[in-house]
Structure 1
Amino acid sequence: MFEKSISAKTSGNFTIHYFASASSFTSKNTETLPAPMKLLELFPVLEKMYPGIKEKVLYSCGVSLDGEYVNVEVDEGMLIGHGAEVAIIPPVSSG
């Protein structure tokens, strides 16, 4: 946890991974975005980059930060730091 707080203060980039419908919508599997970024700003930034993604994809997605699920609305003070990995994970169904 200590490393996350230090990396959150260092400028650079973080990697975002898109899965399933998020990947289809963005036409990308991964990309980098500037760090640090407040977790609360992530969805508005993605909406600006990919108009319509919030309503069509993100509303139902899980988000992980460095392998741990986070709640974008509840964890609003959290920073995405340099070198972090974010994943946008749409719901998965089994049949």
Structure 2
Amino acid sequence: MTPKPPKGHCNILYFASAGSYTSKNVEALPAPLPLSKLFGLLEERYHGIRAGVLDHSLVTINLTYVDVPGAGEEGAEEIVIQEGDEVAIIPPVSSG
């Protein structure tokens, strides 16, 4: 079970290669946080994660899949990650 994030934070869950890249399964980040800023914030913390993991990953907020807009992308209404939300980073998984 994932611990509840501290007040004023959301939880980011890292699966598969995202967890390997960050050496974490879960991390609390300040919220509210615009979804369009999430990948940039993670890139600042974990240099190279965007190209290596995030650009190929699926994202859910509270178990609902969402499209992550690119920086400066317009058109869609801005999704904001709220306090207490659970965001999952789900990279592609292959089997052999």
Q: TM-score range by the shorter chain?
A: 0.7 to 0.9
Q: Which amino acid aligns with 1:71?
A: D
C-alpha deviation, 1:92, in angstroms: 2.2
Match of 1:33 in 2: 29
1:82 aligns with 2:83: yes
SS of the residue corresponding to residue 9 of structure 2 reads strand
With the length of structure 2 as denominator, give the TM-score of the two structures.
0.83
CA–CA separation in structure 2 for the residues paired with 1:94 and 1:75: 34
8 A Cα contact 1:39 1:76, kept in partner? no
Equivalent pairs counted in the alignment come to 85
1:14 aligns with 2:15: no
SS of the residue corresponding to residue 87 of structure 1 reads strand
Gaps of 5+ in 1: 1-10
With the length of structure 1 as denominator, give the TM-score of the two structures.
0.83
Match of 2:68 in 1: 72
Match of 1:23 in 2: 19
Spell out, residue by residue over 1:45-83, the C-alpha distance to the aligned partner (whole angstroms, 9 max, x if none): 000000000011111000000000000017560000000
Divergent runs of 4+, >2 A: 92-95
C-alpha deviation, 1:93, in angstroms: 2.8
Task: Quote the RMSD (CA, aligned, Å).
Answer: 1.6
Match of 1:47 in 2: 43
CA–CA separation in structure 1 for the residues paired with 2:52 and 2:84: 28
CA–CA separation in structure 1 for the residues paired with 2:95 and 2:45: 31
Give % identity.
53
